[in-house]
Chain A
Amino acid sequence: MSDESPTDRRQFLQRSLLGTTGLGMAMASTSDVVAKPVPGEMDVDVTQEVDVLVIGGGTAGNIAAIQAGRAGAKTLLVERGAQLGGTTTTGGVAFPGLFDAWGKQIIAGIGWELVKECVELDGGTFPNFAKVPKRHWQNQIQVNLFLYAILAEEKCEQAGVQIAFHEFPESIRATPKGWQVDCLGFGTRRRVLCKQVIDCTGGAEVVGMMGFERLREEETQPGSMLFHLGEANDPGRHQLHQLYVHGADSTNSRTVTKANLTGRKSILAKLRKEKKRLMHLQPETGFRESYRIVGETTITVNDYTSGRLFKDAVSNAFYPVDLHTKSGVKPKPLKPGTVPSIPLGALIPKGSRNILVAGRCLSSDRLANSGLRVQASCMGMGQAAGVAASLAAKNGTTPLDVPLAEIHRQLAKNGAIIPGKT
Chain B
Amino acid sequence: MAVPGSKSLRRRLTSLLISLTFLVLAVSGGLAFFRPFSIQVIGLHSLMGFIFVGIVVVHVLNNSRQLKGYFRTRIAWVALAVSVVLTLLFFLQPSPIKAVLGLSQNLGPTLDHFEMNEDGMIYRYSPSPDYKLELKVKSGPSYDLDHPPRIAIWLENQGAYHIKTLLGPDKIAAETLPYWTFKRRGWEEARKAAESEEETDAISTPTPNGSFDPADYILPADPETSTPYKLLIEVNQPDDAHGTHRDQPSLVYAVEIDNLSPVTFQLLELVGYPKREDEDGKEAWSLYFVDEGFGSALELIDSALLTIDRE
Contact = CB atoms under 8 A, between A and B. Distances in A.
Interface string A293-336: 00000000000000000000000000100101000111101011
B286 A374 contact: no
Interface centre among B204, B256, B271 (most CB of A within 10 A): B204
A26 interface: no
A330 B207 contact: yes
A286 to B, nearest CB: 8
B288 A130 contact: yes
Contacts of B286: 131-132
Contacts of A329: 204-205, 207
B291 A103 contact: yes
Given A130-B289, A242-B203, A329-B204, A336 B271 contact: yes
A328 B208 contact: yes
B200 interface: yes
A243 B207 contact: no
Contacts of B204: 137, 288, 319, 322, 324, 329, 331, 374
B256 A330 contact: no
Interface centre among B159, B203, B256, B288 (most CB of A within 10 A): B203
A224 interface: yes
B172 interface: no
B271 to A, nearest CB: 6
A242 B201 contact: yes
Contacts of A286: 203
A281 to B, nearest CB: 14
B203 A93 contact: yes
A20 B287 CA distance: 70
B227 interface: yes
Given A102-B289, A132-B286, A333 B208 contact: no
Interface string A109-139: 0000000000000000000001110111100
Given A131-B287, A135-B160, A335 B201 contact: no
Contact of A132 (B200, B208, B272): B272
Contacts of A134: 159-160
Given A102-B289, A131-B286, A330-B227, A136 B205 contact: yes
Interface in A261-303: 286, 288
A242 B202 contact: yes
B44 to A, nearest CB: 32
Contacts of B205: 135-137, 140, 329, 331
B247 interface: no
Interface in A22-81: none
Contacts of A103: 272, 288-291
Interface residues of A, number: 34
Interface of A is mostly: loop
Interface residues of B, number: 24
Interface of B is mostly: loop
A326 to B, nearest CB: 11
A222 interface: yes
Given A103-B291, A135-B160, A328-B208, A335 B269 contact: yes
B287 A135 contact: no
Interface string A222-247: 10111000000000000101111000
Given A130-B288, A331-B207, A336 B201 contact: no
B31 interface: no
B305 interface: no
A243 B287 contact: no
Nearest to A91: B203
Given A330-B207, A331-B207, A243 B270 contact: no
B201 A131 contact: no
Contacts of A131: 286-289
A132 B289 CA distance: 6
Contacts of A132: 271-272, 286-289
Contacts of A331: 204-205, 207
Nearest to A329: B204
Contacts of B269: 335-337
Contacts of A319: 204
A243 B286 CA distance: 31
A282 B12 CA distance: 71
Interface in A315-361: 319, 322, 324, 328-331, 333, 335-337
A417 B208 CA distance: 34
Nearest to B273: A132
Nearest to B204: A322
A134 B200 CA distance: 17
A224 B204 CA distance: 10
A224 B203 contact: yes
Contacts of B291: 103, 130
A16 to B, nearest CB: 50
B18 to A, nearest CB: 48
Contacts of B202: 222, 224-226, 242-244, 324
Contacts of B290: 103
Nearest to A333: B256
A58 to B, nearest CB: 16
A135 B289 contact: no
Interface string B255-287: 010000000000001111000000000000011
A319 B159 CA distance: 17
Interface string B285-307: 01111110000000000000000
Given A131-B289, A226-B203, A324-B202, 19 more contacts: A103-B290, A130-B291, A132-B271, A135-B207, A137-B204, A137-B205, A224-B202, A239-B200, A242-B201, A242-B202, A243-B202, A244-B201, A244-B202, A324-B204, A328-B201, A331-B204, A335-B269, A336-B271, A337-B269
28 contacts: A93-B203, A103-B288, A103-B289, A130-B288, A130-B291, A131-B286, A131-B288, A131-B289, A132-B272, A132-B289, A135-B159, A136-B205, A137-B204, A137-B205, A137-B206, A225-B202, A226-B202, A226-B203, A241-B200, A243-B201, A244-B202, A286-B203, A324-B202, A324-B204, A328-B208, A329-B205, A331-B204, A336-B271
Interface of B: 159-160, 200-208, 227-228, 256, 269-272, 286-291
Q: Which 4 A-B pairs have the closest CB atoms?
A: A103-B289, A137-B205, A242-B202, A132-B287
